[in-house]
Structure 1
Amino acid sequence: MKKQLVIGAVIASLAGLGGTAATQAFDFGSILKVGGVTVLVNQYGDQINTFLNNLLMKNGVGTDYATKVVPVLSVGTGKYIGAVQVVGPTEQVEKVKAVGQLEGGFNNIARAKALIPLATTDVTNLSRVQGVGVSAIIDLKF
């Protein structure tokens, strides 16, 4: 139902833009991805989390710590760009609302992506949750 609402809102927005130039400037894929990440994590996060826990346990690398699936936000833009599973003590994992992703390069020999568990979805006011790490990166298909 939520996915249908997101798609309906996108179509309504496109219809309201009118004209070829405005439609070309509109990033339809980006809007679907942002809305899609939110919808998929809200709707399927618990099921994805259970699937990952079972997969890890089956392969002998499970954990006794708490886990949860949350969206990934680009720290530079605040856009929803994916999902991850976080792991840690229950009290700390419950605080995590999203994971922030910072990207950078090192002397043209390496690229890095730092994944920071956050207590907020507001990337302008970062608040790291200590004692929590990322245990899995989830590739969402749209």
Structure 2
Amino acid sequence: MIAKSRKVCAVLAAGWIALGLWTAPALAIDLGDVLKDVAGVAVGGFVIDKVAGPINDFINTVTFNKGAKVEGHTKVVPIVSLGSGTRIGAAQVAGPKKDGVVKVKAVASLETSFRDRFRIKILVPVDSVNPLQRFVRVQGVGVSAVIDYKL
């Protein structure tokens, strides 16, 4: 299982390095920035799709071993963070019905603040691979894990 985890991390690292996710966000928005965001989401989604199965199995094994098993269906999908700069990551979604989980193609992450003291991160399971264009919330499905990769 550890060998699979290392392989998953290597694939994620290669994909994120290829996307150039370590670069600073641009100060101006132009058509090139929008196209870069769309391309980044597509490539990042492709990379995450390739490692989603092993990551999902790993999360389910850990939660089972810790007595926190999900009583339903799970899968790993990309997280697309919208706001100041577009970012991509991964999340495990879970729900009691398989058809709801199957409909989820990504998780949209929206950040805001409340009274200048609280930072709020809203994670929404959505039906679109590219939430930058359009999306609809998938009801009956929640986010059960967030996957980050340290560069």
Task: Give the direction of change, closer, same or farther, for the CA distance of 1:93–1:28 in structure 2 (3 Å limit).
Answer: closer
Q: CA deviation at 1:125?
A: 2.0
Contact 2:72/2:94 (<8 A) preserved: yes
Query: Residue in 2 aligned with 1:105?
Result: 113
3-state SS of 1:135 partner: strand
Identity of aligned residues (%): 37
Which amino acid in structure 2 is aligned with residue 61 of structure 1?
Answer: A
Query: Residue in 1 aligned with 2:148?
Result: 139
**Separation in 2, partners of 1:135, 1:64:** 11
What does 1:52-131 correspond to in 2, within 5 Å? 52-76=59-83, 79-88=86-95, 89-120=97-128, 121-131=130-140
Task: Give the direction of change, closer, same or farther, for the CA distance of 1:55–1:132 in structure 2 (3 Å limit).
Answer: same
3-state SS of 2:108 partner: strand
**Separation in 1, partners of 2:122, 2:75:** 19
- Structure 2 runs not aligned, ≥5 long: 1-10, 24-35
TM-score relative to the length of structure 2:
0.68
Query: Residue in 2 aligned with 1:29?
Result: 22
CA RMSD of aligned residues (A): 2.9
- Structure 1 runs not aligned, ≥5 long: 11-26
Mark the structure with the bigger radius of gyration. Answer: 1
TM-score relative to the length of structure 1:
0.72
State the aligned residue count.
121
Task: Give the direction of change, closer, same or farther, for the CA distance of 1:90–1:137 in structure 2 (3 Å limit).
Answer: same
